[in-house]
């Protein structure tokens, strides 16, 4: 029974959302889940959720907070304001933590729609990957009113290792995440280029990986993603198409500020090329597969 416990619904039970939902359970919050994947819903129910299913209609009026961990702005808007939209079913004063990677303009548009229904929004993108999400140690870059922060504090306590309060203006959190994704995307693309060059030069990739991860050229993204290349395992933890989306947001942000982003623009082209070549749903390390004339572990040389 949920009793008087704080009640939160996590919408989007992918790798990050499932981790966040399990962290809410571990923190003792009455936790609900929404996802179109019945296996994800069943797994969360088995872990102790109050309920989980394809929509929140049955329990929306009980909720104190909603955490949105869907893929993009279109999904956020669909969940909240589309047919059978959640926003109309929530009690006024409910906190909505929007944690998808979206543009500042979309964050402001969503906040305005929520405000019309008396709902509090935190513009709160997250980072840290599935491992940190599962450990309740995500990094949250948030902006919003004091009321929104206060309302969502139990969710932040349950899911975050670090919470950065960027300011009160909606859109600031989204912008910080977009700038972060510039680095993340460029680091993966640069790591792939380096490993592709090593392959071409006949350097064993496990040796190259070991050298870099113990030297000054390392980055978190190189260490995490290039291990997938060494192992020949492109199981999608974060897919190529995610970085097509995120680096598009980065380049659009640069364009809106009339600011040049030469490295981000190149990285976007590399991920778009990988997606166009048929690797969009593979792990984002598969951006390396677009380099011609090299042999990679576990990859057929004529893979299409």
**Which residue has 């993009």 as its token pair?**
72
Q: Phi and psi at residue 152, in whole multiples of 5°? A: -95, 5
Question: Can you state the percent helix, strand and coil of the chain, rounding each to 5?
Answer: 55, 15, 35
Alpha-carbon span 279 to 82, nearest angstrom: 30
Question: In terms of Cα–Cα distance, which of 90, 98, 142 is closest to 116?
Answer: 90
Pairing relationship of beta strands 65-68 and 95-98 according to DSSP bridges: parallel
Burial class (CB within 10 angstroms; exposed 0-12, middle 13-18, buried 19+) of 164: middle
- For residues 288 and 234, what is the distance between their CA atoms, to the nearest angstrom? 11
List 77, 132, 151, 177, catalytic entry: 177
Does residue 117 carry a catalytic annotation?
Answer: no
Tell whether the torsion through CA atoms of 247, 248, 251 and 252 is positive or negative.
negative
Q: Would you put residue 298 in left (φ > 0), alpha (ψ -120 to 50) or beta? A: left
Q: Are strands 51-53 and 95-98 parallel, antiparallel or unpaired?
A: unpaired
Q: What is the CA 217 to chain-centroid distance, rounded?
A: 25
Reference 243, options 194, 205, 202, 190; nearest CA is 190
* Active site residues per annotation: 177
């Amino acid at each position: 029974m949920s009793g008087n416990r704080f009640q939160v619904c996590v919408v989007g039970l992918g790798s990050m959302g499932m981790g966040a939902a399990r962290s809410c359970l571990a923190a003792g919050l009455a936790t609900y889940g929404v996802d179109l994947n019945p296996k994800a819903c069943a797994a969360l129910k088995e872990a102790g959720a109050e309920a989980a299913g394809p929509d929140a209609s049955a329990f929306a009026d009980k909720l104190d907070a909603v955490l949105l961990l869907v893929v993009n702005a279109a999904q956020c808007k669909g969940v909240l304001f589309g047919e059978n939209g959640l926003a109309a079913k929530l009690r006024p004063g409910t906190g909505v933590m929007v944690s998808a990677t979206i543009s500042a303009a979309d964050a402001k548009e969503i906040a305005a729609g929520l405000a019309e229904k008396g709902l509090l929004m935190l513009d709160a993108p997250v980072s840290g990957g599935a491992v940190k999400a599962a450990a309740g140690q995500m990094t949250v870059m948030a902006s919003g009113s004091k009321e929104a922060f206060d309302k969502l504090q139990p969710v932040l306590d349950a899911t975050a290792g670090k919470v950065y309060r960027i300011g009160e203006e909606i859109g600031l959190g989204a912008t910080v995440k977009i700038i972060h994704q510039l680095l993340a995307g460029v680091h993966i693309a640069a790591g792939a280029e380096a490993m592709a060059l090593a392959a071409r030069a006949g350097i064993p990739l496990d040796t190259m990986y070991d050298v870099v991860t113990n030297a000054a050229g390392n980055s978190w993204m190189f260490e995490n993603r290039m291990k997938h290349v060494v192992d020949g395992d492109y199981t999608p933890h974060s897919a190529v198409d995610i970085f097509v989306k995120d680096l598009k947001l980065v380049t659009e942000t640069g364009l809106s500020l009339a600011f040049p982003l030469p490295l981000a623009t190149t990285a976007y082209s590399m991920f778009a090329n990988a997606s166009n070549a048929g690797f969009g749903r593979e792990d984002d390390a598969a951006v390396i597969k677009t380099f011609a004339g090299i042999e990679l572990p576990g990859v057929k040389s004529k893979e299409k």
